[in-house]
Structure 1
Amino acid sequence: MEINAAMGQRRFGRVNWLGMYTLAEREARRFLAVWTQTLLGPLVTAGLFLAVFSLAIGPGRGDVMGVPFMTFLAPGLLMMTVIQNAFANTSSSIVIAKVQGNIVDTLMPPLSAGELVTGYLAGGLARGMIVALAIAVVMITVLGIGMAHPVWALVFVVLGATFMGALGIIAAIFANKFDQMAAITNFIVVPLSFLSGTFYSIEALPPSLQAITHWNPVFYLIDGVRYGVIGVSDSSPWLGLGVCLAATGVVVSLCWYWFRTGYRMKP
């Protein structure tokens, strides 16, 4: 009875701050230890996208939504890089631990489901924010793009990293092998990010495709960051905020539930 009462008190009345911090620190150290792959690589990729589009299209492309094409493109690339890195951080951590058989080292300590989710998401959020900051510095100093609404941009970057970090947890819990994880990345995550208005305004799409795009939460993430950076967007930022909050709440809740029940995690 005393043990059960203590466990109930720890679970409902206390937070294992040390354990949660340790997990978050471990997740951050993971990507910092190989920063050339996890941080420098995505930044180089984003720079190559900008260079290729600039050389291939040039100034002849004309304005998009009233701004030069490169100015329109940069915020979308920033957000696409953030969400891909947040997803990769959480998904790779869990799926590698499952394949190697050491996921039990994370599940055995006295961490609740909420603490596990928070620890993993902290690592994905940290990686996404570092990448976002680096790209934002380049946009401001090299491309001369200012921040029209910096608070909006920050809110959507945080939401994007949290949403995709949680989606990465879900994908990694579901996947038991690297090829399953690769399939989820290639057939779900990449299409969601590329077909979400990163490289174009959805006003250029047929009405049917515009309707489909509005069901994609990543569209609102990219559109929200674009509004925060250059002050223009395809939809209302308030609508995007509501959709992103709802979508993030759903995926985070599913992460919590799967950790709580041990779904596809127990050996």
Structure 2
Amino acid sequence: MINIGVKELLEAGVHFGHQTKRWNPKMKRFIFDARNGIYIIDLSKTLTQLEGACDFLAKTVSRGGRILFVGTKKQAQEAVKEAAKSCGQLHVTERWLGGTLTNLKTIKRSLGRLGHIEKMETDGSINRYGKQEQSSLRREAARMFKNLDGLRALNTLPDAMFIVDVKREHNAVAEARRLGIPIVAIVDTNCDPDQVDYPIPGNDDAIRSVRLILNTVVDSIKTARADYESKFGRKKGEEQQPEAAAAPAQGVNPDQVITPEPANA
């Protein structure tokens, strides 16, 4: 049971959709009305969908499952990162790299490379290199840290994904659908809800709207996670801590640059 109602959704502006000329007809079932050229989302349906999504995510986490949060649009980045971290889940908030899910082996090798460079910084072995090489290694590590830090514990594919703006994150959606990973997402009036297993109709542009939905989801996940830990102790996929997961993968050449190919913008 979620702890918000239509009043809270209304105050956060969750009901404001896009202009009527920028809509996806498949969202018609979630639209209440159109006013001043803007579609108004039916918040009673938002509430129902949100409750169903939270129930699914809670059940997933209560079985030891991991959730990957994705939100790379500027106004949502910090909120998505904070939400994922607060409930101990994975996140991508910078750029979705092509093959993040479908080429997991390359991502894990890149994380190994990142861990190796970080270890060199810690133990001082990076000083064996010349200044130019050190600078190059640090730039490489900074680039990988920016894109991959939220995936350090990605030892296996996530059990579900939570996405803010499926239209923008179409590459992430495509990879998840290809692999059969369930998707929970905030879907605005310009999105295709049929691409999502658990669509939550709502304003995906206003930060208050995004934060309210994220906070509600996080509360459900935290409760489920605590329940899982009380029963089983360790969390699935965390037998190896995130720091350890960043250690060099077996067979990785520490001097070889391994960077996933960015998805098309």
Per the normalisation by structure 2, the TM-score is 0.26
Q: Higher helix share goes to which structure?
A: 1
- Indicate the structure whose relative CO is greater, using CA pairs within 8 Å and at least 6 residues apart: 2
Q: Higher strand share goes to which structure?
A: 2
